[in-house]
């Protein structure tokens, strides 16, 4: 037994125990801090989608995104449905299991590091991975990354020679295991299919082997991966006739990273801009998810061809994001939780990625040519390259962090070895790279420290407040404050304007109901006062939707809501006109009826605009029918009203 093997054996249980202790302590601390935030119990954005999908699977009901080909990757919702089936439909059980998976990830880093670099690097990398705050941050969200990262590392561990095999190639059995695990991981993160292909080529790269042997090794990886992926492909084909391997979100992700408003970082969330994207697909006749993906891919490639300079700039931005010490938001902003909710582990200068990356760059250059180093470099580079065509943020960089921790630990050991050796000249290169990398990583090149990035966090928090428990009325004032905060952080945030408009539209609907109650009770004075309040809320709603429509000119929902606000405002005038006429006050009745007709004209114009933008929008069509009925309810006191009623009657 070699000296290295004896050292590893002697410390066989101590190192894993230390890693588990460090990783578990970080996760307990993260749980205590994150559980105090509103996002812990209420999933948002993608996490909310997976939560709803998993509940549908658990209850045997239909999820809209899964009746055709899968739009999003299916691994995580089915896994989450299993967790719900065993532990109940609470995200806390999923978080606990994901944090356990995070600890196992750290142990895999230890195993890989020991095998490739030796005990010191393996232990250092595993402890560093365990103490990185971004891993438990995402483990406490209903997202696939905790599991796909673990599976990817497990596959890499399988690809390395087993203990006692020396520097030889991994056996065929281990290649099959690795391919199967990578195939499963790709069901949660389809960009890993690129890694599967590259690993197949890597497995065949054996200069000493005969050609048939090379083909067998490549086939072992690819066939095993296909065993995992093929059932999903067959399912997609059977329900739609479309040969979609895993999911149909390639085109949406590609166009998200390449359009006029792209910044290389931000997704297009469900809202007005997403509606516009879907409208574009419908207008092109791409109704199915697969057809939409093909259409959007074509749109994105065309945009890239027409904007080569901007495409290159976006590519550069995405590379900077990959090496940035700032954790760019996805679904939830780490900076928002640190600033607004006191999650200190996510604060900017808590030891984390910003400290890891400079040492990782040293390790990437000076890691040496040990058996297995090439595989780790390959896995790091391929996973980084696989996200660059789309958009990059903290969530999509997460799978790289355990691999970068290995190179960071190798970099620390290498710099220390050279300094201890007394040959300072040999240490100059690594030290210069370390200093340069520290500067590059920690300069805010793209303005990620700007609080405008937190506008979506304020918006999502408003949605959480509005989604109050059953039987409990939401605090609409708190919702409004958060929406106003989102707009203050980013005035161009169209969805915040739209949601504020919906909030005041809801208030207008409530006011109209109370107005009708006042009139029925004979309280005309109260009814007039209520009319002023209700119309003020409806005018405010219309103004918010006007802002949204100015930002997203094809926002057919906002156009329809402006029309709905005018319709409801007209109905307040109609109610007063009818009440005045019943009391014999024909002058007041005529004034209110004329005011109602003015409102109804506005309603017709904007509902028509919504239907011009999207002729299939049923809500606008239904409200136009309500508008016609409301016009017929008006007292026919003016020529304009009688003419309008004749037109409505003629259409009927």
Total residue length of the chain: 652
Strand ranges, E, within 475-534: none
pLDDT of the residue at 635: 84
Read off the pLDDT of residues 304-313 as tens digits, 9 standing for 90 and up: 999 999 999 9
pLDDT of the residue at 213: 72
- Report whether pLDDT(10) > 70: no
pLDDT of the residue at 207: 45
Residue keyed to tokens 């087993």: 162
Helices (H) and strands (E) in the chain, counts: 30, 0
Selection from 388-392, 473-477, 648-652 with the highest mean pLDDT = 388-392
- The domain limits of the chain are 3-247+307-442, 492-651
Write out the two tokens for 404.
């970068």
Mean pLDDT of 300-306: 97
SS3 content of the chain, % helix, strand, coil (to 5): 75, 0, 25
pLDDT bracket for residue 650 (50, 70, 90): low
DSSP character at residue 171: P
Read off the pLDDT of residues 366-379 as tens digits, 9 standing for 90 and up: 887 788 899 999 99
- Report whether pLDDT(627) > 70: yes
- Report whether pLDDT(38) > 90: yes
Residue keyed to tokens 């209700």: 534
d(CA 632, CA 10): 90
Read off the pLDDT of residues 322-342 as tens digits, 9 standing for 90 and up: 999 999 999 999 999 999 999
Read off the pLDDT of residues 388-405 as tens digits, 9 standing for 90 and up: 999 999 999 999 999 999
Write out the two tokens for 586.
């024909």
pLDDT of the residue at 11: 60
* More confident of the two residues 516 and 301: 301
Q: Is there a contact between 97 and 255 (Cβ–Cβ < 8 Å)? A: no
Summary mean pLDDT of the chain = 91
CATH topology of domain 492-651: Methane Monooxygenase Hydroxylase; Chain G, domain 1 (1.20.58)
Read off the pLDDT of residues 524-534 as tens digits, 9 standing for 90 and up: 888 888 889 99
Q: Which letter, b or e, does each residue of 329-350 get, where b requires 16 or more Cβ atoms within 10 Å of its Cβ?
A: bbbbbbbbbbbbbebebbebeb
d(CA 370, CA 158): 17
Q: Is there a contact between 556 and 610 (Cβ–Cβ < 8 Å)? A: yes
Residue 507's CB is within 10 A of a number of other CB atoms, namely: 19
Those residues with Cβ within 8 angstroms of residue 271's Cβ, 6 or more apart along the chain or in another chain: 494, 495, 498
- Report whether pLDDT(208) > 50: no
Q: Which of 150, 180, 168 is nearest to 208 (CA)?
A: 168
Identify the bridge partners of residue 330 per DSSP, sorted by sequence position: 332
- Report whether pLDDT(136) > 60: yes
Read off the pLDDT of residues 407-418 as tens digits, 9 standing for 90 and up: 999 999 988 888
d(CA 429, CA 415): 9
Q: Which of 222, 196, 216 is nearest to 204 (CA)?
A: 216
pLDDT bracket for residue 167 (50, 70, 90): very low
Read off the pLDDT of residues 439-468 as tens digits, 9 standing for 90 and up: 999 999 999 999 999 999 999 999 999 987
Mean pLDDT of 129-133: 98
pLDDT of the residue at 652: 55
């Amino acid at each position: 037994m070699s000296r290295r093997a004896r050292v590893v054996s002697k410390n066989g249980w101590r190192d894993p125990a230390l890693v588990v202790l460090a990783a578990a302590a970080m996760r307990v601390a993260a749980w205590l801090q994150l559980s105090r935030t509103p996002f812990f119990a209420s999933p948002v954005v993608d996490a909310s989608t997976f939560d709803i999908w998993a509940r549908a699977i658990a209850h045997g009901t239909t999820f809209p995104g899964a009746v055709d080909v899968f739009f999003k990757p299916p691994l995580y919702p089915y896994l989450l449905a299993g967790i719900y089936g065993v532990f109940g439909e609470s995200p806390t059980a999923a978080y606990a299991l994901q944090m356990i998976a995070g600890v196992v990830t750290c142990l895999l880093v230890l195993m890989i590091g020991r095998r490739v670099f030796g005990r010191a690097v393996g232990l250092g990398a595993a402890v560093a991975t365990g103490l990185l705050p971004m891993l438990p941050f995402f483990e406490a969200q209903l997202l696939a990354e905790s599991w796909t990262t673990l599976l990817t590392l497990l596959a890499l561990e399988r690809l390395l020679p087993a203990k006692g095999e020396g520097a030889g190639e991994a056996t065929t059995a281990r290649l099959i295991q690795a391919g199967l695990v990578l195939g499963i991981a790709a069901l949660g993160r389809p960009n890993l299919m690129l890694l599967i292909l590259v690993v197949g080529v890597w497995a065949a790269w054996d200069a000493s082997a005969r050609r048939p042997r090379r083909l067998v090794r490549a086939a072992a990886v690819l066939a095993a991966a296909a065993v995992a992926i093929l059932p999903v492909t067959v399912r997609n084909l059977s329900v739609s006739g479309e040969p979609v391997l895993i999911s149909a979100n390639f085109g949406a992700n590609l166009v998200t990273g390449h359009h006029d408003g792209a910044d290389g970082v931000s997704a297009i969330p469900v809202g007005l801009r997403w509606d516009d994207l879907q409208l574009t697909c419908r207008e092109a006749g791409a109704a199915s998810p697969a057809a939409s993906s093909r259409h959007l891919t074509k749109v994105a490639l065309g945009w890239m061809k027409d904007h080569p300079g901007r495409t290159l700039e976006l590519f550069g931005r995405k590379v900077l994001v990959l090496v940035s010490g700032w954790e760019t938001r996805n679904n939830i902003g780490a900076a928002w939780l640190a600033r607004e909710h006191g999650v200190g582990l996510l604060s900017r200068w808590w030891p984390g990625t910003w400290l890891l990356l400079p040492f990782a760059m040293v390790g990437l250059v000076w890691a040496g040519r040990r058996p297995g180093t090439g595989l780790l470099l390959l896995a790091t580079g391929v996973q980084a390259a696989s996200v660059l065509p789309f958009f990059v943020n903290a969530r999509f960089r997460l799978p790289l962090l355990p691999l970068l921790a290995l190179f960071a630990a190798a970099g620390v050991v290498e710099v220390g070895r050279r300094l201890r050796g007394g040959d300072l000249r040999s240490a100059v290169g690594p030290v210069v790279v370390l200093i340069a990398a520290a500067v590059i990583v920690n300069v805010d090149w793209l303005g990620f420290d700007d609080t405008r990035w937190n506008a979506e966090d304020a918006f999502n928090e408003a949605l959480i407040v509005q989604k109050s428990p059953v039987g409990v009325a939401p605090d609409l004032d708190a919702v409004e404050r958060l929406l106003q905060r989102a707009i203050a952080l980013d005035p161009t945030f169209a969805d915040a304007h739209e949601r504020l408009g919906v909030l005041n539209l809801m208030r207008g609907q409530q006011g109209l109901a109370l107005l009708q109650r006042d009139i029925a009770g004979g309280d005309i004075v109260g009814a007039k006062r209520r009319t002023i309040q209700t119309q003020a809320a409806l005018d405010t709603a219309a103004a918010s939707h006007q802002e949204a429509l100015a930002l997203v000119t094809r926002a057919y929902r906002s156009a329809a809501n402006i029309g709905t606000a005018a319709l409801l405002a007209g109905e307040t005038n109609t109610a007063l006109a009818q009440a005045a006429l019943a009391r014999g006050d024909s002058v007041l009745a005529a004034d209110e009826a004329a005011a109602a007709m003015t409102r109804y004209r506005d309603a017709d114009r904007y509902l028509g605009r919504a239907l011009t933008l999207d002729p299939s929008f049923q809500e606008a069509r239904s409200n136009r029918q309500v508008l016609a009925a409301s016009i017929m309810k008006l007292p026919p006191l003016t020529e304009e009203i009688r003419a309008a009623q004749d037109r409505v009657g003629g259409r009927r």
